[in-house]
């Protein structure tokens, strides 16, 4: 079931920074980013170990992205979440999206206190596919 909040996020916001995007095609982050590109979203790969992923320039941090991003989609371990949330707050992101299996309640509370919408333990691609079925 998709909440109204998730529907609004997926319909209203079009630029997504994918933090932890892997260049390996078989990794979930790569599959999700390819899906989002095909669905018409603007994607900014964030992975300090890469220069380019999916034919797009890859950034070492959210702060390096030259334009504002709406959604910060996170594919990192829970212990890596707090500094990513701090960066998302500093760059003016509107949404923190932690992929399936990723939960960090303290970082979520910090993001929400700063006015960001937080979605945890959900796959943005699956939710988008389900939204298309409504």
The pTM of the whole model exceeds 0.75: yes
Q: How far apart are CA 118 and CA 96, in angstroms?
A: 5
pLDDT per residue rounded down to tens, the chain (134 residues): 678 999 999 999 999 999 999 999 999 999 999 999 999 999 999 999 999 999 999 999 999 999 999 999 999 999 999 999 999 999 999 999 999 999 999 999 999 999 999 999 999 999 999 988 77
| Secondary structure letter of residue 113 according to DSSP | H
Superfamily of domain 4-133: NAD(P)-binding Rossmann-like Domain (3.40.50.720)
Task: Locate the domains of the chain by residue range.
Answer: 4-133
18 within 8 A of 29, measured Cβ to Cβ: yes
């Amino acid at each position: 079931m998709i909440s109204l909040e998730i529907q609004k996020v997926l319909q209203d916001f079009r630029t997504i920074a994918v933090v932890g995007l892997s260049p390996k095609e078989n990794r979930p982050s790569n599959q999700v980013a390819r899906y989002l590109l095909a669905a018409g979203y603007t994607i900014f790969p964030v992975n300090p170990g890469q220069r380019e992923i999916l034919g797009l320039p890859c950034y070492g941090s959210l702060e390096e992205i030259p334009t504002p991003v709406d959604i910060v989609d996170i594919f990192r371990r829970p212990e890596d979440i707090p500094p990513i949330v701090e960066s998302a707050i500093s760059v003016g992101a509107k949404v923190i999206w932690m992929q399936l299996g990723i939960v960090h309640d303290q970082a979520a509370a910090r993001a929400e206190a700063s006015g960001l919408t937080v979605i945890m333990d959900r796959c943005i691609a699956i939710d988008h596919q389900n939204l298309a079925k409504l």
